[in-house]
Amino acid sequence: MSWRCVLLLLAAVVLLTQCGVTCDEPNTVDAALNLRTGDWVDTDFNLNQIVGQAHSISFRFMLQHPNSYYNNIIGESGSGIYTISKNTSASGGCTDRATLSVNFGGTGGVWPNINDLANGFRPNRWYHIAVTVDNQLKLRLYVDGVLGIIQNSGFQTSLQLSGGTWAGGALRFGRRKNSVNPPEQFYGLLDDVAVWDHALSQNEINSLQNNHKLSGNESGLIAGWNFNVLLGGATHPPKHGRPLAFNGNAARVWPLSGKNEEDAAKMLFEQHATKLSLPVKGNWIVNQGSDSDCGSHRGYASFCVDMYYADGPTRGQPIYAAADGTVVLVRDGSADDVGNQQVPGCTECTEGDGSCGYISNEVLIQHAPTEFSSYLHLKQGSVPQAIKDKLAGGQPVLRGEKIGEAGQSGTGGAHLHFAYLWTVTLPANPGINPPADTPTSPCGYTPSVPDSKPLVTRPFLFSEYWAKPQGASAFEFIPAATPQLGDTVRDTSP
């Protein structure tokens, strides 16, 4: 035996003995599934056991980013539709909270309804959900044990589902089948998923909500997943312990207490591959944060920050690449002499609808297959020729390289809108040295560089910057974080 093997053996003995008292007797540590960008978990549970027939599905979840894009908590891996998703109110009202959308086989609805959005889901809090389907195929949704009023064409406590095969494939946690809008991603914790062979009664739902630990001996339980960690020869309850396939960086987090604050602190934050630096120099103030309750940073555009320069006019301040990458889009032909500037010669379809407003000037840099940084509202003509040449020639742009200047194109006042994108659809013609936009009739115009939507943002962190939260007296060094609303941020020590 070589010394290397002896060392390995010693290390193994140390690791084995480190678990202390928990090793002496079988023990189960309460854990939950933690999902972030690109993560999902596949079960081996074939949906043909429940689709088109009476059944229930119950689970607990905790949201990390309540205003983000669609979150498929429960999904199908194959054909059809079997989904339960967190959604975000499109209205952007500051008191609107996240909603839950249910859709089995093409029939679905949303809770809470449009008149009750203030009572929707908040982050960092456990919720218990039960969706039941009775023998007449009527679907009901219970939130924390309370029968919900669902909105589809009207407001009702049950939805009439159609018969037949709603969906195929296996039950999936965190996302839906790969062919459907992949950025529909659940962010947060999922726990105690259970599938039942009947419509759970109110009493059964109350008991599930109150004692969230499933014994496995509940009447009518077909399958359950508690995601718990087993120590010292412990086993899962009956009907639990089916195999799970973890995808992306899907992980379990533990030990959980069931208390909102303690369990929320266990949630893992995003880990993108690229280390991002602040794209500005000097003092900048964040006037819209990521995943915001109010305003425009929600839904597909949730993970963005708006900043303005604190030490003088923002317009004309240099903007720098947040990391090395490849320039994939440049637009700097839009005028920005005044806020919300309109294309000359273009008549708005309806006065004030913004239909003739210039599209924001933008530089888009790709860092990894699913990582793009976007710098919006740049000043007209401010993108250096060297960056345009790199768009044409494909040479890499370097971290800290000037890519343009802050402006107010496509917006009401000068600021930098920084977004980190997961997906983007690039125009066929990326528009090197774009000409002027062309007015069209009867209203509207053709932008010289086509728009690059649809896109979906992803959570991001800047590394190694300094921040002073609103009301604080001093800057502190931030190893890695997303700047928060009201923060003053800077790239160097003050």
For residue 413, which phi and psi values (nearest 5 degrees)? -150, 150
Site string for Zn ion, 341-370 (x = CB under 5 A): ------------------------------
Question: Which residue number, 99 or 292, has a Cβ lying nearer to Zn ion?
Answer: 292
Question: Which residue number, 150 or 276, has a Cβ lying nearer to Zn ion?
Answer: 276
Nearest to 273 by CA among 385, 390, 369: 369
Give the alpha-carbon dihedral of 55, 59, 63, 69, to 10 degrees: -20
DSSP SS3 for 116: helix
- By CB under 5 A, which span of 16-24, 193-201, 256-264, 412-420 interacts with Zn ion? 412-420
Question: Which residue number, 110 or 276, has a Cβ lying nearer to Zn ion?
Answer: 276
Nearest to 419 by CA among 298, 312, 308, 313: 298
The CB-of-306 to Zn ion minimum distance in angstroms stands at: 4
Contact 464, 458 (CB under 8 A): no
Cα 335 from Cα 378, distance rounded (Å): 10
The CB-of-415 to Zn ion minimum distance in angstroms stands at: 7
Cα 244 from Cα 259, distance rounded (Å): 26
Question: Which residue number, 156 or 296, has a Cβ lying nearer to Zn ion?
Answer: 296
The CB-of-360 to Zn ion minimum distance in angstroms stands at: 9
Count, residues near Zn ion per rule CB under 5 A: 3
The CB-of-330 to Zn ion minimum distance in angstroms stands at: 19
Nearest to 96 by CA among 76, 77, 109, 110: 110
- By CB under 5 A, which span of 206-214, 254-262, 269-277, 304-312 interacts with Zn ion? 304-312
The CB-of-297 to Zn ion minimum distance in angstroms stands at: 6
Cα 44 from Cα 440, distance rounded (Å): 54
Residue 4 is inside which H or E element, if any?
helix 3-17
- By CB under 5 A, which span of 162-170, 184-192, 302-310, 360-368 interacts with Zn ion? 302-310
Contact 486, 470 (CB under 8 A): yes
Residue with tokens 């396939």: 245
| 291 near Zn ion, rule: CB under 5 A | no
Question: Which residue number, 306 or 332, has a Cβ lying nearer to Zn ion?
Answer: 306
- Of these, 306, 336, 362, 405, which contacts Zn ion (CB under 5 A)? 306
Query: Burial of 63 by CB count in 10 Å (0-12 exposed, 13-18 middle, 19+ buried)?
Result: buried
- Of these, 252, 377, 417, 458, which contacts Zn ion (CB under 5 A)? 417
Strands 27-29 and 229-231: antiparallel
Q: How many residues does the chain have?
A: 494
- By CB under 5 A, which span of 150-158, 208-216, 299-307, 353-361 interacts with Zn ion? 299-307
Closest CB to Zn ion: residue number:
417
The CB-of-373 to Zn ion minimum distance in angstroms stands at: 14
Question: Which residue number, 304 or 321, has a Cβ lying nearer to Zn ion?
Answer: 304
| Footprint of Zn ion (CB under 5 A) | 304, 306, 417
